[in-house]
Chains A and B, each alone.
Chain A
Amino acid sequence: MDAITPPALVEALALRDALPADRPLNLSRRGLLGASLGALVLGVALRGAPARAQAAAAGGAAKPGTRVPAFLEIRPDGAILLRSPFVEGGQGVSTAMAQIVGEELDADPARFVVECAPPGADYMVVNGRRLTGGSFSVRSSYATMRQLGASARRMLLQAAATRLGVPLDSLSTEPGRVVHAGSGRTLDYGALAAEAAALPVPDGAPLRAEADFRYIGKPVARLDAREKSTGKAVYAIDLAVEGMLQAAVQHAPRLGCEPGAIANEAAVKAMPGVHSIHRLPGAVAVVADRWWRARRAAETLEVAWSEPAADARNVMPADFSSDGMRAALAAASGPGNTAETVGDAATALKGAARTVEASYDAPYLAHGQLEPPSAIARWNADGTLDLWLPNQAPEMFQRVAAQVAGIAPEKVNIHSPMLGGFFGRHFLYDAASPFPQAIQLAKAVGRPVKLIWSREEEFLRDALRPMGLARFRAGIGADGLPVALEAEAVGEGPIGRWFGTKPGAADPSAVEGISGKPYAIPNRQVAHVPLRNPAVIGFWRSVGHSMNDFFYEAFFDEMADAAGQDPYALRLRLLAEKPRHKALLEAVGALSGGWKRGPYEAADGTRRARGVAMASPFGSEVATIAEVSLKEGEVVVHDVWVAIDPGRIVNPAIIEAQVNSAVALGLSSALLEEVVYADGAPQARNFDGYPILPPDRMPRVHVRIVESGAPMGGIGEPGLPGVPPAVVNAVAALTGQRIRSLPLSKTRLGAA
């Protein structure tokens, strides 16, 4: 994932205007403000995990997720610091980790303070890697983190046994302390932490019986609700370090263009608070004492941008447009790379009583997380570099930051604050993160630099959900059941872009949601027709599912219509041999008061209809029903019912919240969102031109969690993919209009 490896970055940077820092600063001198544990002085640590754990952990040979001191510190008052492998960005993973570890440690999750761990081998608990994404955090680390908690509890018990001079098996625990029932004596964990720290990590510490769980599976309160309700939560954009300057950039209008002459450089340099002006790869930057001064100066710069060099990487063509891209996707012919083959779809189509064909597409999308990207870079006297930045993968950012800085990775200290939303935004994508610029600016000015991208610069450099298109052909048999389905997903997925795919192989992130569907259609052929996006693309909540389940599940209703069947009944019939899916579809039907497609008249006199969709994203199963009406040509979504089966669960309240959140984002994409490019530039640079779901378009959301006992699936993303097709299918039922291109705001609905 060498996404950001500009080999000539250092050389390209004009190290000019390194003025002495002679301007008065009005920044706090208290050093790092608002670090997540700034107020929590950890008195006693289990073997004193170092503040710079990355260096220590990097050398450790222990299996990831086993070295208790790398994860846990317990202070005398019983507060527990957990260094989590995962970053909290709203999905509730910090609370989930406290529940899982607390369950086995025997400690109330409310006593935990959770922060994202620094880079280090100890934290590579996601199949030997580390990232926060793919709805993978809890399900990938559940067993590891349980065992970690159990190991820590065992160490505390051993320390207590030694202290009290009693056999270990005469001791038990209750939340936060060890109990010797024989004598009635108790010892708080905080009082044992130092002794426990001296002990080796035990093997095979026993786990609590699931029937005795008090925290796992319960709606434990989020650890961060109060700080987030009082403005005390600290995000990267809120941080300050002693002596820092602040920077803003003006990016090249198109990727690949480079800054040339600046017509008004002297005038801008004279603007209030301006420290220096810098040319960076693909951008100009202003460093100032305060951010607003830097921003105002940066946007004032009149820059002559060169056209991209012939050999430049990642060039945004001057004539690129999203309309043109859609046409290119439509023109890209198959057969492409096979993703799924069952039976013989081509032959079955020839023999079908009738066939149905349709082409669907979905636009580029922006992440629109409300916290704009930022980074603080501080070069230290010993040659090390500290970086504070939003990220979903500390080790990956560490490695790339080291390349940019020209130092060894272990000399880069990565700090990963809480994220003000992410949805896939904070992985590594080309030219999509401020940290390389911050590193270079800090080097140039000889002081720490905090760089914030304005919302407008963020819209210019966000890594987009790719535009996609899918062509379907289905054959209906004489019995009214589908006998064959052919599908071609045209475009590019972020897995292929950033991790590569084998030659001739389908990109899973381009076909997921079209392949892997559970319906009993006896002949199926799914292929990926690759077409590269000139725009930088990235992961966006539910990735390929975010559009592919819309394509497939909407086309499914077209098949049902062609076969003269009710779409809910046809799904049930084609899931007859899939008990997990069938049960879920029945569950969402029941949750909605019994399936009815409509149209029908609601109590308020509006004419309404419902649509249904299924999805199998990220190891979970989801069934969704939406009810809609029309108002002045726009769809009104009244209720969304979601039944979700993640197999097994950790926190039902957070699951319900995440489903609400996924419904909102899925609905936002269905109704409103579209990044439009013209002449190589995004036409919207803020939320006025790129509307996202406002409160008055939020439907009621009803959630039923089904614990089937299947292997644990994901939670953060799975609620999304079913929403666009359920809404579009409801619109079709209501109006007869079959919408095959999102967002719905492009089409005036109902009688013209």
Chain B
Amino acid sequence: MKTFYVNVRYLIVPVMTVLTICGLFLGGIYAWTGVFLFGLNIILDTATKNIHLRADFDENGNSFGIKTFQYIVMYLMLPIFIVLQCTLGWNLYQFTTSSAVTIESLIGAILSTGLWAGLGIIYGHELSHNKKEGFSVSRAVMALSGASHFTYAHVYQHHLELGHQNDPATAPRGRNVYWHTWLSHFGQSKFSFDLEKQKLERHNKSFFSLDNKWILGYLYSLPSITLFVWSGGIIGIVALVVVWSISNFLLEALNFMGHYGLIREAGKPVEHRHSWDNDNLFTSWFFIEIGRQGDHHVRGETYFWELDEVGAPNYEIGYFTLFLLTLIPPFFRKYTQKYLDEWDNNQASVAERQIAKDYYEDTKHLSNNILVA
């Protein structure tokens, strides 16, 4: 029974994505299913903000997670997300060729698709850490949102550089999520470009090669572009831009929340204190434990169902609730300031405090203890 519970609890996203697809098929008010579910998740996440669970292991220390089951689910998310996009394409086709789909229904379908394509990126993230086949599936999932470069940048840059200004996915204090989305997205793409350039030069190959994963990544997005252009023309292009903007915004919002304002000395090991944990019940189950960032960044090859609470700094609320705050930057900064003060005072190393003092010209980003030190 415990095994069943531990494995089934991570099916929220697959189930809700399928419901969103059903809503797109039904049309009308049901096309807004994905938006409604997103709102429902905010309520559920906020309602469970005080429930924090640990990872489940038996008396011998073995996890209840079934690897084969979890991997089948993660791999299945690729065709599910393809169906989601195709269903939106069908809506676009209906809208442009007949009156079967109204503008209200189409807007709901576009927003629903963008939100769930974005939430589905958690599978792209998880699989980016897992072996050759999983890595390829990750690339394909990310390509559906025009972000295939993420897979390489996440593994080869973010996990190595987090907490440092060399990592575009780490947001310094004072930055808002909107600006961070641009900087992080294009910063990671630039890194992936440079990574391929260096690799191909070392192997005496041309940049314009089938071994160039940066170019290939964008080519993987061509089927999505073709689908939207074919099914909706100009409106299809607008829909694609909206879907990709929403999904990439959600991806970068996760990066933003995961490391905002934290500092690490270059070259020093990544430790639990260099990531924010968001590990209340709903966030843990919905986001397949991606909120246990502290453990994930120290044990990068660990399966998500084995990640645990490790004493990392913790925002004490879930991702959905915190996401709402990030949308209004002054609210986000006000909420996070006391946690950053706590980090500065009790978790940062002496060197990290000095970096904070040197880096931030605006002293409102620093705790009083750092200022008087």
Asked if A and B are interacting partners, one says no
Binding site for A on B (CB under 8 A): none
Chain A interface residues toward B at CB < 8 A: none
